[in-house]
Amino acid sequence: MKRLRKIVHQATKITFWSTLPIVLGFIILSPFMLNVFGGEFKNGFYVLCIRSSARLISALTGPAGNLLQMTGKEVIFMKVLFVGAIINIGLNYYLIPTYGIEGAAIASLVSIVFWNLTMVYYVKKEFGFSTIYIPFTSKLNKYKIKLPNFMCIGAAKSGTTSLYDILRQHSKVFIPSFKEPHFFDIPSVYQHGIEWYQKTYFKDLKNEICIGDFSPTYLFDEYAAQRIWNDLGPKMKFIIILRNPVDRAYSHYLHSKRDEHEDFSFKDALSLEEKRVNKNDYLAYLRLSYIGQGMYFEMLQRYFKLFPRDNFLIINFEQEFVIQRDNTINKILDFLALDNEGINVNISSNKASKARSIWLKRLMKKTGWWRIIIKNSIPSLKIRQIIKNRIQRANTIIHTPPKLDDSEKKEIYNTYFKNDVKDLEKLLNKKMYWDL
C-alpha cells in the first residue's frame, strides 16, 4: 500500500506539472489565438478559462478514477460518473438559457469537480490515502514551525523507552534527546506555551518528516488529549503500547520504590491508592497511581472522542512488542509512512535497576541553595533535565526484582483490572490475553 501511494503521488505530480504550463499558455495566449478566428470568437475567452481551470483541477486530484477502475471498484466509479452526469445535465438546463455558452462551461466545471473530489473521497476511504497533489508544500514546510506529528503516549512502564531508542535510529525521524517533555500533562510546563515547547525540544530539526514526542503519561492525564487536539490539531498520530496492567503496576511500583517515593508493600500500595493520590500534587499523583495508569479503557475513550480511530496504532506489549518485535516495528514504520532502513530492533531499554549510591540518589531529590545556583547557572530546563537524567542513569545498575507469583497476579487482576480489560477488548475488538 505504501508503494502504491508513492506511485500515485508521483503520477499526480508529473501530471500537474505537465498540465500547468499548457493551461497557463492557453489562458495567457487565448485572446491572441481566438482573434485569429475572428473578433466574434473573443467572447470565448472566459469559457476557455473555465474549461482550463477544470482541466487543472483534474490534474491536481490525480488518477483517482483510474485507481478505482483498476482495483475492482468499477461499480463505485460508474455510480459517481452517473451522478455527475445528472448534475451536468441539470445545470446545463438551468444555466444555458441565462448565461449561454458560459453557463455550459460552468456546468461542466462543477460536474468535473464533483467527479474528481468524490472519487478522491472513495480512494481515501478504500485505500487510506489521498490522490490530491498540493504543490510547493515541501518548500513551504521549511518555513513552518515544526511540531510533533506523532506521539507515543503510553502506557508508562510498557516498553516506550525501547521503542524511542529504536525509532531514533531512523534518518527521517526526529525525537528530542530528552525523551519525555511532559508538555501536555504537567500544568506548570504547559503554561510556558506552544512556542516554548517548539523552541525547547524541536529547534534542532533538519529534514526529518516524522517528529515525535514520547511522553507516556499523556495517555493517563485527563487534560492531555484536549490540549493536544487544541494545539496540534486532529491529524496527530498516536502509538500506544498496552501491557498487562498487573505487570505494569508492579513495574511502576518498583520504580517508585527504587526512587524512595514508596514505603508500603505492593499490595498495601494498591489498596491504599485511592486514599493516597492527590491530584493537586501532580508528580506525586503520577508516582503513586499504579491502578489508575492501568485503566486503559477509560483513558482511550478520552482520545477516541477527539481523534479518528485511524490515527491510532494500539500494540499489545506481550504478544506483539516482545514476541513479534520485527513485525511490530514494520507495522509502526508503515503507520508512520516510513521506509525500513534496516534499523536495529533488538533494543531493550530502561530495565529494572537500583541505585549504585543511595547517598547520591537522596542528594538529587533534596532542595536547597545549591539547586538555585544550578538553575541560575543553567537556565535551560531541557539541559537541566538531560544532565539530571544522565546522572541518574550513571547511578543505576541492572537489578532483578522478585517476581509476583501467578496466584498474586490473578488476584490483583480480578480485584482491580478485570472489568476495565473486558471493556477495553470490546472497544478495540481485540483480545489482550491478560486473564490467563
Candidates 53, 62, 64, 45; CA nearest to 22 is: 53
Q: Any idea what the CATH number is for the domain that residue 153 is in?
A: 3.40.50.300
Same domain? For 154 and 273 the reply is yes
Q: Would 379 be classed as within a structural domain?
A: yes
Q: Would 436 be classed as within a structural domain?
A: no
Residue partners of 190: CB distance under 8 A and separation at least 6: 183, 184, 227
Cα–Cα distance for residue pair 416/436, rounded to 1 Å: 15
Based on the structure, what is the number of domains in the chain?
A: 3
Cα–Cα distance for residue pair 244/294, rounded to 1 Å: 8
Q: What type of residue is 434? A: W
CA–CA distances in Å: residue 316 to residues 155, 180, 336, 403: 11, 21, 18, 21
Same domain? For 242 and 308 the reply is yes
β-partners of residue 354 are 397
Task: Please report where in the chains the cell 528530542 appears, as a residue.
Answer: 176
Q: Give residue 82's domain range.
A: 2-135
Same domain? For 277 and 196 the reply is yes
Q: Would 368 be classed as within a structural domain?
A: yes
Q: Would 318 be classed as within a structural domain?
A: yes
Residue partners of 245: CB distance under 8 A and separation at least 6: 291, 294, 295, 296, 413, 416, 417, 420, 421, 434
Tens place of pLDDT per residue across the chain (436 aa): 567 777 888 888 898 888 888 878 767 776 766 666 665 555 667 777 887 888 888 888 888 888 888 888 889 989 989 998 999 899 888 888 988 888 888 888 898 989 889 988 888 888 878 888 888 665 545 545 689 999 999 999 999 999 999 999 999 999 998 899 999 999 999 999 999 999 999 988 988 999 999 999 999 999 999 999 999 999 999 999 999 999 999 999 999 998 888 999 999 999 999 999 988 899 899 999 999 999 999 999 999 999 999 999 999 999 999 999 999 999 999 999 999 999 999 998 866 555 666 656 556 666 665 566 666 667 666 676 667 667 766 667 666 788 999 999 999 999 999 999 999 999 999 999 998 6
Q: Which helix (H) or strand (E) holds 174?
A: strand 173-174
Candidates 270, 184, 261, 175; CA nearest to 220 is: 184
pTM of the model: 0.65
Residues 201 and 176 sit within 8 Å (Cβ to Cβ):
yes
Q: Would 261 be classed as within a structural domain?
A: yes
Task: Please report where in the chains the cell 486473564 appears, as a residue.
Answer: 435
Q: Would 332 be classed as within a structural domain?
A: yes
How many beta carbons lie within 10 A of that of residue 70, not counting itself? 11
Task: Please report where in the chains the cell 538531560 appears, as a residue.
Answer: 386
Same domain? For 310 and 419 the reply is yes
Same domain? For 367 and 344 the reply is no
Q: Would 99 be classed as within a structural domain?
A: yes
**pLDDT score of 293:** 97
